[in-house]
């Protein structure tokens, strides 16, 4: 079984879609490791702020089947397949890592390049897998987060899932 780390994002009916995505992922894959939920500004376009988090789980599905299943979930939650890359979305489910796989596997970049570029991807990963090492540069996600330096802002938000406080806003 492979350990998968996924990024989740939404900026359309954000709280609803993130909660529904977590429910669907739990039904499909069982127990989830869930990071705190963060709010961040969109990157690459103007629009509503996103909610972002990371989840981890184990699966026997190969990358191609996992990718198809996640794309179907996005469609089930109203994502338009013809929408521009940088645009508002109901749900974004990105495979960040699949075990220690490196390269393009079934059309999926592994590990996903956004891990090292975007705070809204790296910080949640550092929260749920702090000692896990990036498959290419072999630094842990907590080390990568400590060394991260850009002007991207993100902040934790109050989020409750299945009657459990996943994250708490600061301040």
CA distance 124 to 159: 14
Annotation marks residue 92 as catalytic: yes
| Cβ-Cβ contacts under 8 Å for 9 (sequence gap 6 or more) | 50, 51, 52, 89, 91, 92, 94, 120
Locate tokens 């009916």: which residue? 13
Q: Which of 14, 94, 112, 127 is catalytic?
A: 94
Q: Which of 3, 16, 76, 79 is catalytic?
A: 79
Annotation marks residue 89 as catalytic: yes
Q: Which of 92, 100, 138, 147 is catalytic?
A: 92
Q: Which of 89, 112, 147, 151 is catalytic?
A: 89
Q: Catalytic residues, which ones?
A: 79, 89, 92, 94
């Amino acid at each position: 079984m492979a350990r998968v780390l996924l990024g989740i994002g939404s900026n359309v009916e954000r709280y609803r879609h993130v909660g529904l995505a977590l429910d669907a992922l739990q039904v499909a894959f069982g127990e989830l490791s869930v990071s705190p939920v963060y709010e961040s500004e969109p990157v690459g376009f103007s629009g509503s702020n996103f909610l972002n988090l990371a989840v981890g789980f184990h699966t026997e599905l190969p990358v191609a089947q996992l990718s198809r299943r996640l794309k179907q979930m996005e469609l089930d939650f109203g994502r338009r397949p013809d929408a521009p890359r940088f645009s508002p979305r109901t749900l974004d489910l990105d495979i960040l890592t699949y075990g220690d796989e490196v390269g393009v596997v079934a059309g999926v970049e592994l590990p996903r390049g956004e891990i090292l570029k975007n705070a809204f991807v790296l910080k949640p990963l550092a929260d749920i897998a702090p000692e896990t090492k990036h498959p290419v540069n072999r630094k842990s996600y907590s080390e990568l987060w400590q060394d991260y330096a850009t002007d991207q802002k993100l902040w934790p938000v109050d989020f409750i899932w299945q009657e459990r406080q996943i994250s708490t806003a600061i301040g």
